[in-house]
Homo-oligomer: A and B are copies of this chain.
């Protein structure tokens, strides 16, 4: 019987650090297959993906994943709590996952496990402490970590094991653990220390490993789509796929500035009251965005973000708010109840032969419909409609010469490798 480990990924793009994590995950969990839950065209930090999800799924398969399923955009662009919930609920729903393995700054699972148990069972007191912290003006991640630490120091011998809960991968790891708790999942968690490259490092600092941020920066700055600068940091397979997409197919890597027209259009036409209906647009942020969208020196998302930024809001938070404006994600579609019940389909983006075995297995064990195209289910899931809209919005710019690719979600079969 095949054993499968689940990874939660963005692969933007798939690089040597991802390859290393993938191999380590199989090793520590003793699994022989890898299932990746991958975000589609828009990502957790509130940004568009560099290249389309099918090409990224192909990178994942070429790099050692056996099955790639898509994290619906409703979760892929959520803050850590719901991002983690969506990903873990999807893995759980496949019915074939034995383990989950994620990278953290410390590589320690025990403190995350005790923090998660506490967070999952004390959500009311946690919410209260969190609100107090927010009222003091802390950013959300900092406030959450402070609140949880308060709870932990009251309740356990936390001090001895203490890890910095507000580090980005500890935050995500904690929420994977909380989700496993809440779903009462039998999936066994593992963590691996991310030593090679810090999440946000803009510059490569290791021989063969650079952060995805650094790699994207090199790609966006490369003259004439020259891929040489990144060749040391990505597997050959990734390099080939980037070459195919960016050079042979002559597509431009996506980034926020390519949505400038659409975004500033929205910010100029919509009154603040209408903007505030979008997710993450709260506490007066809508007024700040409306105001600064008309005070920038030129139409630039970067300049807008800098103008709106305050200590209170992380850049990620602001980008997520802009993404909600771009994708027209209304708060009313993302209530706690809807998010709790929103994982309703398993969308396959690609698979290997081994992945095909897993898919066969899933025919018996999966708790949700497994689909290859939204056509199989559309109309019955609002979140699926959001996925289709996100692809449509993305492809309009990624492939401006072919409007029919707006419907790629319907026409593109899963990648088989």
| 20 A-B pairs (CB sep. < 8 Å) | A261-B262, A261-B265, A262-B262, A264-B396, A264-B403, A265-B265, A265-B393, A268-B389, A268-B392, A268-B393, A269-B326, A269-B328, A269-B389, A270-B328, A271-B385, A271-B389, A294-B392, A294-B406, A295-B404, A299-B403
B299 and A269 within 8 A (CB): no
CB of A49 closer than 8 Å to a CB of B:
no
Q: Is residue A359 within 8 Å, beta carbon to beta carbon, of the partner chain?
A: no
Question: What is the interface of chain A mostly: helix, strand, loop, or mixed?
Answer: helix
Contacts beyond the supplied A264-B403, A269-B327, A271-B389: 18 A-B pairs with Cβ under 8 Å? A261-B265, A262-B262, A262-B265, A264-B396, A265-B265, A265-B393, A268-B389, A268-B392, A269-B326, A269-B389, A274-B328, A293-B403, A293-B406, A294-B406, A295-B404, A297-B403, A298-B401, A298-B403
- Whether the pair A294, B328 counts as a contact (CB closer than 8 A) is no
| CA distance in complex: A67, B326 (Å) | 41
Question: Which residue of chain B lies nearest to A299 when distances are taken between CB atoms in the complex?
Answer: B403
Q: Is A407 an interface residue (CB 8 A)?
A: yes
- How far apart are the CA atoms of A274 and B265 in the complex, in Å? 18
| Chain B residues with CB below 8 A from A183, complex form | none
Residue A31 at the chain B interface, CB threshold 8 Å: no
Give chain B residues whose Cβ lies under 8 Å from the Cβ of A403.
264, 293-299
- A320-351 contacts to B, CB under 8 A, are 326-328
Closest 8 CB pairs of A and B: A268-B392, A262-B265, A261-B261, A294-B406, A269-B393, A269-B389, A296-B403, A269-B328
Q: Which residues of B contact A28 (CB under 8 A)?
A: none
Asked if A400 is at the interface of the complex by the 8 Å CB criterion, the answer is yes
Is B265 touching A396 in the complex (CB atoms < 8 A)?
yes
The 0/1 profile, CB within 8 Å of B marked 1, for residues 290-304 of chain A is 000111111100000
Complex: A392 Cα to B296 Cα, angstroms = 14
Q: Using CB atoms and an 8 Å cutoff, list the residues of chain A in contact with chain B.
A: 261-262, 264-265, 268-271, 274, 293-299, 326-328, 385, 389, 392-393, 396, 400-401, 403-404, 406-407
Residue of B nearest to A274 (CB): B328
How far, in whole Å, are A31 and B385 apart by their CA atoms in the complex? 60
Point out the residues of chain B lying under 8 angstroms from A271, CB to CB: 385, 389
A271 to B262, CA, bound (A): 17
Q: Which residues of B contact A392 (CB under 8 A)?
A: 268-269, 294
With a 10 A CB-CB cut-off, give which of A269, A328, A385 has the most chain B CB atoms: A269
Residues of B within 8 A of A393 (CB): 265, 268-269
Task: Across the interface, name the chain B residue whose C-beta is closest to A394.
Answer: B268
Cβ contacts under 8 Å, A400 to chain B: 299
Specify which of A270, A328, A396 lies most central, judged by the most chain B CB atoms within 10 Å of its CB: A396
Instruction: Find out whether the CB atom of A404 lies under 8 angstroms from the CB atom of B269.
Output: no
Docked complex Cα distance between A265 and B265 (Å): 10
Q: Within the assembled complex, what's the spacing in Å between the Cα atoms of A327 and B396?
A: 20
Nearest Cβ on chain B to A294's Cβ, whole angstroms: 5
* Residue of B whose beta carbon sits closest to that of A296: B403
CB distance A406 to B265 under 8 Å?
A: no
Among A274, A294, A298, the one with the most B-chain Cβ atoms within 10 Å of its Cβ is: A294
A389: nearest chain-B partner, CB-CB: B269
CB nearest to A265 among chain B residues: B262
Nearest-neighbor residue (CB-CB) of A388 within chain B: B271
**Bound state CA distance, A63 and B286, in angstroms?**
43
Q: Shortest beta-carbon distance, A282 to chain B, in Å?
A: 21
Separation of A392 and B293 alpha carbons in the complex (Å)? 11
Given contacts A403-B293, A403-B298, contact A396 B262 (CB under 8 A): no
Q: List chain B residues, Cβ under 8 A from A407.
A: 294
How many angstroms between the C-alpha atoms of A25 and B270 in the bound complex? 40
Q: How many angstroms between the C-alpha atoms of A270 and B404 in the bound complex?
A: 17
CB distance from A375 to the nearest CB of B (A): 14
Closest B residue to A405 by beta carbon equals B294
User: Closest approach, in angstroms, between the C-beta of A298 and any C-beta of chain B?
Assistant: 7
